[in-house]
Structure 1
C-alpha cells in the first residue's frame, strides 16, 4: 500500500480514535463539570455532539471545495493541526461552555473526512472507488476498535487523559503526512472557488440536478440519522440497561469497530462482486433493520455483545452509496461531492444526537411513565425502514445490479 494511502487511512482512523477515546468518559466528564444525574448528562451529551455536527455540516462543502481549488495536501494538514489543538482545549476544559467551544472548533476541523475521501477518489479508477472507499471505512472501524479500548483504559487515570492521547495521535499524523502526502490535484484541473457552491445548501442543489443523486443523498442522510444512535446513546444505554463500566463500554465499542473494519475493509469487495452496488445496499438494510429491533428489545448483556458485530454488517450501505454517486460526478468535482456527503452525515449528527438522547432521556427519566432504554434503537429501525423505502424507488442502473432492483447471481 502506498504511503499516501496509509496516511489517508490513518487520518480517518485517528478521527475515529479521537471519537472512540472520549465516548467511554463522556457520561462521567459531563457529570463532573455539571454535577447532574445520568439523564441530564445524556442531554448535554446530545448538545455537544449536535454542536460538533452543525459545524461539520456547515463547513464540509467549503473544505471540500477548497481542496478542489488549492489541493488536498494543504487542506488535510491544516485541518489535522487544528484538530490536535482542539483536543488540547478539551483536555483542559473546566466548564461545559469550554467543552462546547471545543466542539465548535472540532466540528470545523473534522471536515477532513471530505478531503480524505476526495483524495482516495483522485487515485482510484471509477470502477474501484467503492472498494477503495471501503478502506476509508475500514480505517474508521479500526479507529473504533482502538479508541474505545484505549479510552476505557485511560479513563482509569482520569477523565482528561483520553483527550491528551487524541492530541498526541493527531500531531503525529500531521508529521507523517508532511513527508509522505503528495498533491493529486493538478494545476490545470483546479476549479475556481465558488462560494455559492461551497455551502451545504448550494452544493446539494447543484449535485441534486444530476440524475438520481437527490434521492440517494436522502438515503445516505437517513442511514446516518439512524446510525447516530451508536455514538449518541450507546454509552448511556450500556450504563442504564446493563450497568456497564467505562471499560466495558469501550470494549463493546471496540467489538463493533473491529467488525466494521472487517466489513468495510475485507468483506465489501466480495459483497460488491456478488450483489453489485444496488444489491449491496439492500443486503445491508436487511441486517440493519433486524439488528436495531433486536438491540432495542433484548435484555441480556451477552446477547447484545453477540449482536454488536452483526450490526456492523450494515456498514456496506454507505460505501456502496458513495461509490454509486462518485461515478456520477466529474473528476474535478470529487471534493465537492465528498463535502456534500460529509455534510449529509453531519446534518444527521445535528439532528440525531438530540433526537436519540432526547428519546433516551424520555424513556429513562425517574418520573417517566415507561422505562425503556432501548427506545432509541427502535426509532433507528423505523428510520432505516424509511430509507429502504426511498431507495427501492431509485431506478438508475448501477454496476452489477439491475434496474428493477433484483439481485444478480454471484460470480465465482
Structure 2
C-alpha cells in the first residue's frame, strides 16, 4: 500500500500540473454546450417538419438519453482515469466530444442527430476526470477555492455560450455545432502538447475492476467512508433542485411576468455574473474563514431562500432582487467537493467524481419531467390555487432537505491513504 495522502498534490516529471488547462477546458466545454442551448430545440423542430408537439417529444427524449449516458458512462471514465491516468482519458474524451459536435453538425436526419446526442452524453462524462485532475493537483485546504473557480468557468461559459449560439444560429442552425466542435478540438490540441499527467503510476489503481465501473459499484464506493454517502446525497438534492431552472424558467417567467426574450437574456446575464462573482472572488476567502462545512450550509440555506423568493415574487423586478441571494448558493458545491475529496485516496478520486457525475445524470433524468409536470398542474389550477411558483417551492423543499442532511454529515475528515 502506498502511503501518499490524498491531500498531497502530485507532480508529473518535468512539468507543473496544468490548472490553467483544466480551467480552460471547463470554460471551453461550457461555452460549447451553451452554444447549443438555443439551437438544438430549433434544429429538432426543423427535422420534425415544424411540428412543435413532435419536436417537444423528441427534445424530452434527447434530454433523457443524455442523462442516461452520463449515469452509465461517468463511473467508467472515472475509474479508468484512476487506472491509466487523467491525461489520456481527458484527451480521448475531448477528441470524441469534438468529433461528436461535427457528427451533429452534419447529421442528415433526426435519427442521426439522436445518435449524436447519445455520443455527446457519453463523451461529456469526461467532466469527472477533470474534477479528479483538480483534486490531484490541489492541497485539501485549497480545493474549495479551486472548485469555486471551476464553477465560475462553467457559469461564464453558459453565460456567453447561448449568446454565441443565438447569433450564429441566425445564419445557419448547423453553424453553432461547428463552432462548438472547433472550440473543443482546439482545447484537445492544446492539451495534447501542454497537459501533464497529474496521477503518477505509483498512485494509480492497480487494476480496472468492472464491478466498480458502474453506478452500483459507485454506490459501494460512496458507502466505503463515513459520511460520504450522505454528502453525495446533499450533492444529488442540490443538482435535482437546480434542474427547475432549465426545466421551467422561461415558461414560468413568461407566464407570470410576461417577460420578453430580451428580458430573459438580461436575466440570464445577471444571474451568470452574480454566480461568477461568488465562485471566483468570494468562495476562496470565505471558505478559508468559515470552513467547508459552513460553506455547504451557507450555500444550501441561501438556495432555500432564493427559491422561495423566486417562487413568491409577484413582480418581475422583485424576482430580480433575489438574484444576489440565490447566487450565494454557489458556496455549496465547492465546500462539498472539498469535504468529499478529503475522504478518499488519490487512486479513488476518479471513481468519486464518476459517482458524482452519475448522480448528476439521475438528476438530469428526473428533474425535467418532475418540475415540468408540477408547473403544468399549477398553471392549470392557477385560478383556484394561485401558486404558479409551486415547482420552485418544491425545489426549495429539496434544498431544505439538503440543508438538514448537511447538518448531519458535513464534517471534516482526515485525508485518506492510497488504496491498493
Residue from 16, 20, 33 that aligns with 2:30 = 16
Question: For the Cα contact (< 8 Å) 1:30–1:45, is it kept in 2?
Answer: yes
Q: CA deviation at 1:180?
A: 1.0
Change (3 A) 1:246 1:120: same
Residue from 279, 284, 290 that aligns with 1:269 = 284
Residue from 333, 341, 352 that aligns with 2:348 = 333
Q: What is the CA RMSD across the aligned residues, in angstroms?
A: 2.7
Residue from 150, 158, 166 that aligns with 1:136 = 150
Residue from 233, 238, 256 that aligns with 2:271 = 256
- Residue 360 (1) aligns with residue 360 (2): no
Change (3 A) 1:124 1:60: same
- Residue 80 (1) aligns with residue 86 (2): no
Report how many aligned residue pairs link the two structures: 397
Question: For the Cα contact (< 8 Å) 1:27–1:236, is it kept in 2?
Answer: no
**Cα deviation 1:366-399 (Å, max 9, x = unaligned):** 9998786533322211211122222222264469
Change (3 A) 1:171 1:184: same
Q: CA deviation at 1:216?
A: 0.9
Moved more, 278-287 or 243-252: 243-252
Change (3 A) 1:101 1:309: farther
Correspondence list, 1:375-386, <5 A: 375-386=390-401
Q: CA deviation at 1:286?
A: 1.8
- Residue 351 (1) aligns with residue 366 (2): yes
> Structure 1: 5+ residue runs without aligned partners?
400-412
Correspondence list, 1:37-56, <5 A: 37=52, 44-56=58-70
- Mapped to 2, the partners of 1:236 and 1:104 lie a distance apart of 27
Q: Which residue of 2 aligns with 1:409?
A: none
User: Counterpart of 2:409 in 1: which secondary structure?
Assistant: coil
Change (3 A) 1:90 1:362: farther
Q: CA deviation at 1:42?
A: 5.3
Question: For the Cα contact (< 8 Å) 2:296–2:410, is it kept in 1?
Answer: no
Q: Which residue of 2 aligns with 1:319?
A: 334
Q: CA deviation at 1:292?
A: 0.9
> Structure 2: 5+ residue runs without aligned partners?
1-15, 415-420
- Residue 213 (1) aligns with residue 223 (2): no
Question: For the Cα contact (< 8 Å) 1:80–1:109, is it kept in 2?
Answer: yes
Question: For the Cα contact (< 8 Å) 1:226–1:383, is it kept in 2?
Answer: yes
Q: Which residue of 2 aligns with 1:163?
A: 177
- Mapped to 1, the partners of 2:135 and 2:401 lie a distance apart of 29
Q: Which residue of 1 aligns with 2:5?
A: none
- Residue 103 (1) aligns with residue 132 (2): no
- Residue 279 (1) aligns with residue 294 (2): yes
Question: For the Cα contact (< 8 Å) 1:43–1:358, is it kept in 2?
Answer: no
Q: CA deviation at 1:306?
A: 3.6
User: Counterpart of 1:286 in 2: which secondary structure?
Assistant: helix
Change (3 A) 1:60 1:263: same
- Mapped to 2, the partners of 1:238 and 1:15 lie a distance apart of 28
Q: Which residue of 2 aligns with 1:91?
A: 105
- Mapped to 2, the partners of 1:110 and 1:265 lie a distance apart of 23
Q: Which residue of 1 aligns with 2:191?
A: 177
Q: Which residue of 2 aligns with 1:408?
A: none
Question: For the Cα contact (< 8 Å) 1:292–1:381, is it kept in 2?
Answer: yes
**Cα deviation 1:13-62 (Å, max 9, x = unaligned):** 12222232222345544443333447x75554443222111101111111
Change (3 A) 1:319 1:275: same
Change (3 A) 1:250 1:46: farther
Q: CA deviation at 1:287?
A: 1.3
- Residue 61 (1) aligns with residue 63 (2): no
- Mapped to 1, the partners of 2:264 and 2:174 lie a distance apart of 17
- Mapped to 2, the partners of 1:91 and 1:275 lie a distance apart of 47
User: Counterpart of 1:204 in 2: which secondary structure?
Assistant: helix
Normalised by the length of structure 2, the TM-score is 0.86
**Cα deviation 1:168-203 (Å, max 9, x = unaligned):** 211111111111101122122221111111112112
Change (3 A) 1:156 1:50: same
Question: For the Cα contact (< 8 Å) 1:282–1:388, is it kept in 2?
Answer: yes
- Mapped to 2, the partners of 1:140 and 1:242 lie a distance apart of 28
Change (3 A) 1:136 1:95: same
Change (3 A) 1:104 1:389: same
Question: For the Cα contact (< 8 Å) 1:59–1:108, is it kept in 2?
Answer: yes
